[in-house]
C-alpha cells in the first residue's frame, strides 16, 4: 500500500477517454435501488456489430499486468478480449467520484459478470477539500509534481487524482492478498478502477451497514468480522482512514470494506494513530448503539494500536 504513484501517468487515459474520477469516502450515496427495474438479460444470440452509446469493448487488454488484480483471477471474471462492457446505470454518486454498474459479457454467449466502475472526476470538477491530511505522507520523486500538488495547480490537481486512484488500487490488491474483506480489484485504467460488484445477480447492490438492522446473532458475527478485518489491516501498519458504517457493506451476512483511497500508513504518517483511533470510534460507536455489549471504542482503538506496534501517546486529532 505504500505508494508507487510517482511512476504513474496521472490523468492520462487510453482511447482518449475522459479522465477518471475518485471518491474520498465522503460520498453522497444515490437512493437505494430497490425501486429500480431489475436487469434484463440480453439475448445471448444477439450479434454486436456496433455498440450503443455508453457501452464499450472490454478494456481488459488496455491495462498492463501490474494494473490488473491478483492472480489467480477469480473464475467469475470475464477476461476475453471480445467481451463488451455494457453500462447499466449509477450505483453511487459522490463529491469526488461516481460508481457505475457495468456488465462485462461475451456477445453470442451467456458468459458475463457484473462490475463496479469507479470513475474519478477531472481536475476541474473534483473537490479536494479534505485531502491535505491524507496526502501528507505521500510524496513522489519529482519535485515539480510535489510543488504542483502543494499549490493545487491544474496539473497538481490532476496529479492528486492519479495518486488517489493508484493508492486505492494498490491498497485493494494488498488487502485482498492479505484476506481483508474487500472487493476484488479487477483493473485500473487511467483513473478508472473496475471492482467486483458486491450485490445480487439482478444488479441490486448490497446494503451499507448503516442501513441494516441485524439481530443479536448477526450483529455479533458482523462485529467479529469487523474486528478481525481491522486487526489485519493494523498489523500491516495501516488504517482505513475514513471507516464508518457507510463504507461497510453487508452481503449475505458477510462484511465487506469499501472506499479505500485514503488508506493511511500509521507508522510513517505523523498523525497515523489519530486515524486509527477515529476509525475505531466511528464503527464501535455504531455497534454499541445497535446493542452489541463488546463494542467499546477505546478498547478497540487500544487493541488496533497494539496490532500496529504503536505504543506512543495519542497524536493530535486528524482533521
Which amino acids are annotated catalytic? 242, 259
Backbone angles phi, psi at 308, to 5 degrees: -80, -5
- Could you tell me if 311 and 305 are in contact, meaning their C-beta atoms sit under 8 angstroms apart? yes
- Could you tell me if 221 and 253 are in contact, meaning their C-beta atoms sit under 8 angstroms apart? yes
Which three cell numbers, joined as nine digits, stand for 110? 451467456
- How far does the chain reach from its first CA to its final CA, in angstroms? 22
**25-62 as b/e, with b when 16 or more CB fall inside 10 Å?**
bbbebbeebeeeeebeeeeeeeebeeeeeeeeebbbee
Residue 120 pairs in a beta bridge with 97
Amino acid at each position: 500500500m505504500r505508494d508507487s504513484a510517482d511512476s504513474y501517468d496521472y490523468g492520462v487515459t487510453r482511447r482518449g477517454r475522459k479522465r477518471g474520477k475518485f471518491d474520498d469516502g465522503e460520498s453522497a450515496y444515490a437512493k437505494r435501488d430497490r425501486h429500480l427495474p431489475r436487469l434484463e438479460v440480453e439475448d445471448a444470440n444477439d450479434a454486436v456489430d456496433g455498440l450503443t452509446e455508453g457501452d464499450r469493448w472490454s478494456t481488459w487488454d488496455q491495462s498492463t499486468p501490474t494494473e490488473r488484480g491478483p492472480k489467480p483471477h477469480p473464475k467469475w471474471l470475464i477476461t476475453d478480449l471480445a467481451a463488451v462492457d455494457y453500462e447499466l446505470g449509477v450505483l453511487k454518486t459522490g463529491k469526488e467520484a461516481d460508481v457505475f454498474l457495468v456488465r462485462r459479457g461475451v456477445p453470442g454467449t451467456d458468459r458475463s459478470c457484473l462490475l463496479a466502475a469507479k470513475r474519478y472526476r477531472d481536475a476541474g470538477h473534483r473537490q479536494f477539500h479534505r485531502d491535505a491530511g491524507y496526502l501528507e505522507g505521500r510524496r513522489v520523486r519529482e519535485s515539480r509534481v510535489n510543488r504542483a500538488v502543494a499549490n493545487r495547480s491544474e496539473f497538481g490537481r490532476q496529479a492528486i487524482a492519479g495518486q488517489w486512484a493508484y493508492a486505492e488500487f494498490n491498497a485493494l490488491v494488498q488487502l485482498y492478498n492479505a484476506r481483508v474483506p474487500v472487493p476484488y480489484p479487477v483493473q485500473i485504467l487511467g483513473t478508472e478502477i473496475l471492482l467486483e460488484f458486491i450485490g445480487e445477480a439482478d444488479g441490486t447492490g448490497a446494503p451499507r451497514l448503516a442501513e441494516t438492522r441485524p439481530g443479536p446473532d448477526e450483529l455479533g458475527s458482523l462485529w467479529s468480522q469487523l474486528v478481525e478485518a481491522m486487526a489485519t489491516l493494523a498489523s500491516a501498519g495501516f488504517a482505513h482512514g475514513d471507516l464508518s458504517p457507510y463504507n461497510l457493506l453487508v452481503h449475505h451476512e458477510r462484511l465487506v470494506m469499501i472506499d479505500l483511497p485514503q488508506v493511511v500508513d500509521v507508522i510513517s504518517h505523523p498523525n497515523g494513530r489519530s486515524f486509527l483511533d477515529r476509525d475505531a470510534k466511528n464503527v464501535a460507536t455504531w455497534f454499541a448503539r445497535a446493542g452489541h455489549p463488546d463494542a467499546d471504542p477505546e478498547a478497540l482503538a487500544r487493541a488496533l494500536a497494539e496490532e500496529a506496534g504503536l505504543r506512543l501517546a495519542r497524536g493530535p486529532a486528524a482533521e
